[in-house]
């Protein structure tokens, strides 16, 4: 059923052409918003444009470049005449760049993982705040974190720079929330557990990891999360329903944060 929590609002989703970002963009559109999504893959961008229809526009760009998010926000202003909310989803595992356990991490793994997950987010948040202040409007920023920021999995998910980046996102978001509260600009974090996305293919195809997840994320039968499991929380944070909420971290993790995940015979 269509609801109207975001009626008349304009939302920009950085990393919004696939997976968690596209699912959230669809949910925002269903809640009444116009949406600009940003992604770097032209094919995914074309598919996202088809999915969103008249409620959406797509900007093709690399979130690790400082100009990309500003350009996406400008597209929102030029097309829909306003800008109300930013959701930063762009990021990903740095494993292929050389992230991993600390003693194995390469220089490239450090640089690429931080650039993809933390620097890109700082750029998008900066662009959003500049726009809110220039427009003289209240606004809201939602950042994608991870339960790995505070609840590690040493056996299966030992990418230490990624964990550092996600922990950095929490510190950065809380600091910004404190500073910009007087402007009624809100900052919050949503932190998923393991969710079925392109980034999770390695885990989703590993039966040992799936056994671990059945214990670590015991809700809903111990399954891997789905992108749509986060959508209601996203709409909440981007709407006036959360107008008195800032500087908070919400884990949407199937119970990861409160479960041991110790394997046993099933």
Active site residues: 162
First to last CA, the chain: 39
Spatial contact of 197 and 191, defined as CB atoms under 8 Å apart: no
Sheet containing 56-60: which strands, arranged edge to edge? 56-60, 34-39, 10-14, 85-88, 139-144, 185-192, 249-252
> CA 175, CA 30: separation in Å to the nearest integer?
32
Separation between Cα atoms, residue 57 and residue 92, nearest integer Å = 23
User: Would you say 36 and 13 are in contact if contact means Cβ atoms under 8 Å apart?
Assistant: yes
What is the full DSSP assignment across 188-237?
A: EEEEESSB-SGGGHHHHT-HHHHHHHHHHS-GGGTPPB-GGGGHHHHHHH
Euclidean distance between CA atoms 88 and 144, whole angstroms: 6
Distance (Å, whole) CA 187 – CA 128: 11
Which residues, in sequence order, are bridge partners of residue 88?
A: 14, 143
């Amino acid at each position: 059923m269509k609801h109207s929590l975001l009626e008349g609002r304009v939302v920009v989703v950085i990393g919004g052409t696939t997976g968690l970002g596209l699912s959230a963009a669809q949910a925002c559109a269903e809640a009444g918003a116009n949406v600009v999504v940003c992604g770097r893959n032209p094919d995914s961008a074309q598919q996202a444009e088809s999915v969103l229809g008249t409620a959406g526009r797509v900007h093709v760009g690399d979130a690790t470049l400082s100009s990309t998010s500003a350009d996406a926000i400008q597209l929102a202003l030029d097309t829909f005449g306003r800008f109300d909310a930013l959701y930063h989803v762009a990021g990903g595992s740095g494993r292929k760049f050389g992230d991993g356990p600390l003693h194995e991490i390469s220089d490239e793994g450090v640089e690429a993982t931080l650039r993809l997950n933390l620097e890109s987010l700082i750029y998008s948040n900066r662009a959003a705040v500049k726009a809110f202040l220039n427009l003289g409007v209240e606004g809201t920023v939602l950042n994608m974190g991870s339960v790995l920021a505070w609840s590690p999995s040493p056996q299966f998910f030992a990418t230490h720079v990624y964990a550092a980046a996600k922990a950095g996102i929490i510190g950065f978001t809380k600091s910004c929330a404190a500073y910009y509260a007087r402007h009624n600009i809100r900052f919050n974090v949503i932190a998923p557990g393991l969710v079925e996305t392109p980034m999770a293919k390695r885990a989703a195809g590993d039966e040992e990891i799936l056994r671990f997840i059945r214990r670590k994320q015991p809700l809903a039968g111990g399954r891997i999360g789905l992108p749509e499991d986060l959508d209601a929380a996203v709409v909440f944070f981007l709407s006036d329903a959360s107008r008195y909420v800032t500087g908070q971290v919400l884990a949407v993790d199937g119970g990861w944060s409160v479960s041991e995940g110790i394997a046993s015979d099933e």
